[in-house]
Amino acid sequence: MNTITIMSTVEGTPNVTYTEGEVLRYIDKAKGIDELNELLNKQVQTIRDLKNKVRDFFSEGEWNDGETNVNKGDVNMLLESIGCNKLTTRYNATYTITGTFSVDVEDENDVESIFTDNVSVDFYDGDIDVDQIEVNDIEEDN
């Protein structure tokens, strides 16, 4: 087993001996710390760049009494340039869903209530309200 001994030059401090495995682990750990420091330096530069972009964006505005106006399109361009999600806008719309359905019932008068009590409308990414459900043109299926 190979060892390395570090001789102390300070009186009262003992010499230290390391095995080859301990030295190799220390070297690997030091390499990992170097990689982390490199990543940290890149992150610091990225943050500095982001701060400069935001500062530049606001310094381009016309300021009156400590206030400026910016429009949403310009803000979205800034956000996109720094890797952020753009601002969103909520829109409202009306909709019509037209279709047909078949159901087995004992009485024609049950057709509408079976449908209106059991139909649902799902919307994947927003709010939806169903104001009215109508069943039209009930006909016997031949």
Q: What is the pLDDT of residue 118?
A: 87
What CA–CA distance (Å, rounded) separates 10 from 12? Answer: 6
* Helix, strand, or coil (residue 67): strand
What CA–CA distance (Å, rounded) separates 53 from 45? Answer: 12
Q: Whose CA is closest to 77, among 106, 54, 45?
A: 54
Q: Name the token pair of 51.
A: 């701060």
pLDDT in tens, the chain (142 residues): 788 888 888 888 898 999 989 989 999 999 999 999 999 999 999 999 999 999 999 998 899 999 999 999 999 999 999 999 999 998 888 888 888 888 898 988 898 888 888 888 888 888 888 888 888 888 888 7
Q: What is the pLDDT of residue 51?
A: 96
* Helix, strand, or coil (residue 18): strand
Dihedral class, residue 10 (left if φ above 0, else alpha if ψ from -120 to 50, else beta): beta
Q: What is the pLDDT of residue 137?
A: 80
pTM of the model: 0.54
